[in-house]
Amino acid sequence: MPEQKKEPEPLTVVDRRRFTTEGERRPGVETPPAPAPEPPPKQAAPAPSRPQPLHESEPARQARQAYEKQSGKAGGQKSDLETLILSLSTSAMIQLGLVEDPAGGRIPADFEAARHTIDMLDVVQEKTRGNLTPQEEQLLEQVLYELRLAYVNISSGSRPGAPHTKARP
Protein backbone atom coordinates (compact mmCIF):
# COMPACT_ATOMS: atom_id res chain seq x y z
CA MET A 1 0.00 0.00 0.00
CA PRO A 2 1.53 3.30 -1.00
CA GLU A 3 2.19 5.80 1.77
CA GLN A 4 0.48 9.11 1.55
CA LYS A 5 2.43 12.19 2.46
CA LYS A 6 0.74 14.33 5.03
CA GLU A 7 0.96 18.02 4.83
CA PRO A 8 2.44 19.43 8.05
CA GLU A 9 -0.03 21.33 10.13
CA PRO A 10 0.61 25.02 10.18
CA LEU A 11 2.48 26.20 13.26
CA THR A 12 0.47 28.49 15.46
CA VAL A 13 2.19 30.82 17.92
CA VAL A 14 0.14 32.21 20.77
CA ASP A 15 1.50 35.19 22.67
CA ARG A 16 0.57 34.66 26.29
CA ARG A 17 2.29 37.69 27.66
CA ARG A 18 -0.01 39.84 29.74
CA PHE A 19 1.42 43.17 28.63
CA THR A 20 2.28 44.75 25.31
CA THR A 21 5.75 46.06 24.50
CA GLU A 22 4.47 49.47 25.54
CA GLY A 23 3.60 48.11 28.99
CA GLU A 24 -0.20 48.16 28.54
CA ARG A 25 -2.40 45.21 29.53
CA ARG A 26 -3.23 42.98 26.56
CA PRO A 27 -6.95 42.63 25.91
CA GLY A 28 -8.39 39.17 26.52
CA VAL A 29 -5.50 37.90 28.63
CA GLU A 30 -6.48 36.57 32.01
CA THR A 31 -4.56 37.69 35.03
CA PRO A 32 -3.28 34.86 37.19
CA PRO A 33 -4.72 34.54 40.67
CA ALA A 34 -2.85 36.38 43.39
CA PRO A 35 -0.57 34.15 45.43
CA ALA A 36 -1.85 33.09 48.82
CA PRO A 37 -0.53 35.31 51.59
CA GLU A 38 2.32 33.79 53.56
CA PRO A 39 1.61 33.06 57.19
CA PRO A 40 3.39 35.37 59.61
CA PRO A 41 6.73 34.02 60.81
CA LYS A 42 6.62 32.19 64.08
CA GLN A 43 8.51 33.76 66.90
CA ALA A 44 11.55 31.72 67.76
CA ALA A 45 11.69 30.25 71.21
CA PRO A 46 14.56 31.49 73.34
CA ALA A 47 17.69 29.49 72.63
CA PRO A 48 18.55 26.95 75.32
CA SER A 49 21.80 27.47 77.19
CA ARG A 50 23.28 24.39 75.52
CA PRO A 51 22.31 22.96 72.13
CA GLN A 52 19.91 20.04 72.23
CA PRO A 53 19.86 17.22 69.66
CA LEU A 54 17.20 17.61 66.99
CA HIS A 55 15.70 14.14 67.44
CA GLU A 56 16.58 12.99 70.91
CA SER A 57 14.94 9.75 71.97
CA GLU A 58 13.40 9.48 75.42
CA PRO A 59 16.13 7.14 76.78
CA ALA A 60 18.83 9.44 75.40
CA ARG A 61 17.16 12.49 76.97
CA GLN A 62 16.92 10.74 80.34
CA ALA A 63 20.56 9.63 80.17
CA ARG A 64 21.67 13.19 79.30
CA GLN A 65 19.66 14.67 82.16
CA ALA A 66 21.01 12.10 84.64
CA TYR A 67 24.55 12.80 83.46
CA GLU A 68 24.10 16.57 83.78
CA LYS A 69 22.61 16.16 87.26
CA GLN A 70 25.36 13.76 88.39
CA SER A 71 28.30 15.66 86.88
CA GLY A 72 27.06 19.14 87.73
CA LYS A 73 29.63 21.87 87.39
CA ALA A 74 32.25 20.00 89.41
CA GLY A 75 35.59 21.76 89.56
CA GLY A 76 34.23 24.81 87.81
CA GLN A 77 35.39 23.44 84.45
CA LYS A 78 33.60 24.85 81.47
CA SER A 79 32.86 22.80 78.39
CA ASP A 80 33.25 24.97 75.35
CA LEU A 81 35.14 25.06 72.07
CA GLU A 82 38.24 26.68 73.55
CA THR A 83 38.50 23.88 76.12
CA LEU A 84 38.18 21.28 73.35
CA ILE A 85 40.88 22.98 71.27
CA LEU A 86 43.26 23.21 74.22
CA SER A 87 42.57 19.60 75.22
CA LEU A 88 43.34 18.29 71.74
CA SER A 89 46.39 20.56 71.54
CA THR A 90 47.75 19.18 74.82
CA SER A 91 47.16 15.62 73.59
CA ALA A 92 49.10 16.36 70.39
CA MET A 93 51.98 17.89 72.36
CA ILE A 94 52.17 14.77 74.54
CA GLN A 95 52.06 12.56 71.43
CA LEU A 96 54.89 14.59 69.87
CA GLY A 97 57.01 14.03 73.00
CA LEU A 98 57.03 17.73 73.93
CA VAL A 99 55.71 17.11 77.44
CA GLU A 100 57.83 15.37 80.06
CA ASP A 101 56.42 12.59 82.19
CA PRO A 102 56.52 13.87 85.80
CA ALA A 103 57.50 10.38 86.99
CA GLY A 104 60.37 9.70 84.67
CA GLY A 105 61.47 12.08 81.95
CA ARG A 106 60.55 12.31 78.31
CA ILE A 107 57.61 10.47 76.74
CA PRO A 108 58.46 8.88 73.37
CA ALA A 109 56.82 10.48 70.34
CA ASP A 110 53.93 8.77 68.59
CA PHE A 111 53.80 10.50 65.20
CA GLU A 112 50.79 8.54 63.96
CA ALA A 113 48.68 9.59 66.96
CA ALA A 114 49.98 13.17 66.81
CA ARG A 115 49.12 13.44 63.11
CA HIS A 116 45.63 12.09 63.81
CA THR A 117 45.06 14.61 66.63
CA ILE A 118 46.29 17.50 64.45
CA ASP A 119 43.99 16.29 61.66
CA MET A 120 41.07 16.27 64.14
CA LEU A 121 41.78 19.91 65.00
CA ASP A 122 41.83 20.61 61.26
CA VAL A 123 38.37 18.99 60.97
CA VAL A 124 37.13 21.19 63.82
CA GLN A 125 38.44 24.24 61.96
CA GLU A 126 36.84 23.17 58.69
CA LYS A 127 33.45 22.30 60.18
CA THR A 128 33.19 25.45 62.31
CA ARG A 129 34.42 27.90 59.67
CA GLY A 130 32.25 31.01 59.74
CA ASN A 131 30.70 30.12 63.13
CA LEU A 132 33.56 31.02 65.46
CA THR A 133 34.19 34.11 67.52
CA PRO A 134 37.36 35.99 66.53
CA GLN A 135 39.06 34.70 69.71
CA GLU A 136 38.14 31.06 68.93
CA GLU A 137 39.26 31.45 65.33
CA GLN A 138 42.60 32.96 66.37
CA LEU A 139 43.19 30.28 69.02
CA LEU A 140 42.47 27.45 66.58
CA GLU A 141 44.66 28.99 63.87
CA GLN A 142 47.56 29.54 66.29
CA VAL A 143 47.33 26.04 67.81
CA LEU A 144 47.27 24.40 64.37
CA TYR A 145 50.23 26.49 63.20
CA GLU A 146 52.34 25.60 66.24
CA LEU A 147 51.45 21.90 66.19
CA ARG A 148 52.10 21.52 62.46
CA LEU A 149 55.45 23.28 62.78
CA ALA A 150 56.42 21.12 65.78
CA TYR A 151 55.36 17.96 63.92
CA VAL A 152 57.49 18.84 60.89
CA ASN A 153 60.48 19.82 63.03
CA ILE A 154 60.39 16.76 65.25
CA SER A 155 59.58 14.20 62.56
CA SER A 156 62.42 15.52 60.39
CA GLY A 157 64.92 15.13 63.23
CA SER A 158 65.25 18.73 64.39
CA ARG A 159 65.27 19.28 68.09
CA PRO A 160 62.00 20.52 69.64
CA GLY A 161 61.59 24.27 69.57
CA ALA A 162 64.28 24.78 66.94
CA PRO A 163 63.12 26.31 63.67
CA HIS A 164 63.17 23.91 60.73
CA THR A 165 65.93 24.76 58.25
CA LYS A 166 67.01 23.04 55.07
CA ALA A 167 70.50 21.62 54.96
CA ARG A 168 72.84 23.46 52.61
CA PRO A 169 74.51 21.46 49.83
Which pLDDT does position 78 carry in this prediction? 65
- Has residue 142 been placed in a domain? yes
Q: How sure is the predictor about 155, in pLDDT bands with cuts at 50, 70 and 90?
A: confident
pLDDT in tens, 61-100: 888 788 878 876 545 566 788 999 999 999 999 999 988 8
Q: How sure is the predictor about 31, in pLDDT bands with cuts at 50, 70 and 90?
A: low
Query: What is the tally of structural domains in the chain?
Result: 1
DSSP H helices, the chain, are 58-71, 81-95, 111-128, 134-155
Q: Exposed (0-12), middle (13-18) or buried (19+): which is 139, by Cβ within 10 Å? A: middle
Q: How sure is the predictor about 111, in pLDDT bands with cuts at 50, 70 and 90?
A: very high
- Has residue 34 been placed in a domain? no
Domain that holds residue 154: 80-99+109-158
